[in-house]
Amino acid sequence: MPLLLRHLGRRDYRSTWQAMVDFSAGREAGTTDELWCCEHPPVFTLGQAGKSEHLLADLGIPLVKTDRGGQITYHGPGQVVIYLLLDLARRHLRVRELVIAIEQAVIDLLAEHDVLGERHAGAPGVYVGPAKLAALGLRVRKSFCYHGVSLNVDMDLSPFAAINPCGYAGMPVTQTRDLGIVLTPGQAATALAEHLARQLERKQ
């Protein structure tokens, strides 16, 4: 099935979220699925069931309550975000299968650089040892999926200390730069998008 890749550059979180909502609401039977690659200015986002007490300190970074699943996370420059705007019914994909495919795409990208990525039971995302490297959160309406996955590449990780990442107190975070992977955010976005496309093809 066709899959269109868009590189959006650095985009405000709220306007990107609204664009995803509008895209999904306007979809028709033949609308092509898309992957949107971008970075965001500093922002904390809180999922639908998220608890505000997981924000531990006020750093002057805006907090946006959004409609994805999951708890709280941080987005900032140097982190790759890929949004998956997919028709799950057309692809015969269940949400759990999509989560596994997204995680596997990140794990396969790491494996290309001899880094072992892992899943942790009950905590969606990809980890290297105890440290979280990639977070994901999705929203599905009428079989149409949006939101997606964030991969820490080459960023200031300090704002993560102001939250319980994904709702887990004291969870460490890491990034590809600190794992010895020499990729710019742009290169990482392209590579991850290719792995995501490959996983989606395998699910067809």
Give all strands of the β-sheet with 72-75 in edge-to-edge order.
63-65, 43-46, 72-75
Catalytic residues: 166
pLDDT confidence band for 204 (50 / 70 / 90): low
Least trusted range by pLDDT, from 43-47, 49-53, 72-76, 93-97? 49-53
Distances 76 to 11, 12, 51, 179, 202 between C-alpha atoms, Å:
10, 10, 21, 19, 31
Phi, psi of 37 (to 5 degrees): -100, 130
pLDDT, tens digit, 9 for 90 and up, residues 126-169:
999 999 999 999 999 999 999 999 999 999 999 999 999 989 89
pLDDT, tens digit, 9 for 90 and up, residues 53-87:
999 999 999 999 999 999 999 999 999 999 999 99
Mean pLDDT for the stretch of residues 1-12: 95
**Is residue 13 over pLDDT 80?**
yes
Closest CA to 145 of 188, 194, 99: 99
Contact present, 147 and 83 (Cβ < 8 Å): yes
Per-residue confidence (pLDDT) for residue 166, from 0 to 100: 86
Determine the residue type at 79.
Q
- Mean pLDDT taken over the chain: 96
Mean pLDDT for the stretch of residues 94-123: 96
Paired sense of beta strands 144-152 and 118-120, if any: unpaired
pTM score, whole prediction: 0.96
